[in-house]
Amino acid sequence: MMALSFLILLVIFSCENPLIQRIVEPRTASFESNGGSIVESQTVFKDRPVRRPSDPSRSGYTFDAWYSNNETFLQEWDFAVIPNADITLYAKWNAKVLIPINDVDITLTQPVTGGVPMTSVSGASYTGTVS
């Protein structure tokens, strides 16, 4: 008898049950990382917000935020909002800025007694990354 009761409860509360589907109204929140690391989709139930995922990573870029529009990036997604349909959120990235180093400290030393001073200087340029 207990096994039959369990089976009945399993059928009633199965995620495929249309009645349960109408009660919990599952939605899918997908994340398009736009070239960044993969972010898994989420199932979001009725009256629940999307959970903020960990920030994705992308070489040469810093993550800005998740947006509801992939073309203008005008509306940053508010993770307190409850979606009323399936939703895709899009990652916005900012390129890391390369800043050339223009100022350097140069130390001049006197040539060794009897040595010949150099008349030219050679060196390399360096470009650093600012995070």
Domain spans, the chain: 24-96
Work out the pLDDT band at 122, boundaries 50, 70, 90.
low
Whether 11 shows a pLDDT value over 60: the answer reads: no
Residue pair 83/27 in contact (Cβ under 8 Å)? The answer is yes
Compute how many other C-beta atoms are within 10 angstroms of the C-beta atom of residue 33: 19
Backbone angles phi, psi at 66, to 5 degrees: -95, 135
In CATH, what number does 24-96 get?
Answer: 2.60.40.4270
d(CA 52, CA 37) in angstroms, rounded, equals 15
Whether 39 shows a pLDDT value over 80: the answer reads: yes
Whether 10 shows a pLDDT value over 50: the answer reads: no
Q: What's the pLDDT at 67?
A: 97
